[in-house]
Amino acid sequence: MRPRRMIQCVSMRRTPPEIEDRVISLYRHRPDRQWVAAEVGMAPSTVARILSRRNVVPRKSRGPLPRLTCDEERRLCQAYCDENLSMEAAGRLVGVTTPTVRAVLARNGSKSRGRGRRGRRKDRTINSQGYVTLWLAPDDPLAGMRNSDGRVLEHRLVMARQLDRPLTDKEQVHHRNGIKTDNRFENLQVRHGSHGAGAAFQCRQCGSLDVEAIPIR
């Protein structure tokens, strides 16, 4: 007959009162157990036990979002759109979570922008076609060239700034040396219609790439 396995009971140490007070304070400031656990340095389950022990009702995951004043909503939009803060950083300014910030932006007609890792927006990226894209501020004079994510192709933006006007949909910008990431103005050509892959305008007599359209006399 096998001997019975002895089960040893280990008593769990209670969290110090000052730590519990800090957990409660942080949770009331931002009702997010994951965030509170990261700030204090403990497991989210420990945060949940502290809240239960101190009779703090956890916020429902799909409960109503907190209502903000007009000044608070304006501050959120300004921090996210004008100051280029992340949703998390903007929410900290008025003590709300990322879902609330996203709802405020949607309610005020501001779209969320593309983001990199850890919630930081990448101002300069390369798309799947190999072209460089830039995030453009909504108050920029050339903001009409932005796509739904608030981004614009860098080579088109360089040409538009040189011409001091937005480019039309029929105007295409071509890289003279074929390198899509070389967006120096001297490496760009603008023309109407598709230019075709691997082609550039060049003078047939002298070989110059500095060509332009002139009126017929």
Report the chain's mean pLDDT, rounded to a whole number. Answer: 76
Residue 81 placed within a domain: yes
Residue 6 placed within a domain: no
The amino acid that residue 120 corresponds to is R
What pLDDT sits at residue 129? 82
Quickly state the pLDDT bin for 161 (edges 50, 70, 90): very high
What pLDDT sits at residue 140? 86
Rounded to 5 degrees, what angle do the CA atoms 108, 112, 117 make?
150
Count of beta carbons in the 10 Å neighbourhood of residue 83: 11
What pLDDT sits at residue 3? 55
Quickly state the pLDDT bin for 62 (edges 50, 70, 90): very low
Q: Which structure tokens are listed for 110?
A: 């501001």
Query: If DSSP codes are grouped into helix, strand and coil, which group holds residue 151?
Result: strand
CA dist 67 and 49 (Å) reads 28
What pLDDT sits at residue 166? 92
Report pTM. Answer: 0.41
- Looking at the structure of the chain, the number of domains it has is 3
Residue 5 placed within a domain: no
* Residue 112 pLDDT > 50: yes
Which residue segment(s) compose the domain that 82 sits in?
A: 70-112
**Both 175 and 139 in a single domain?**
yes
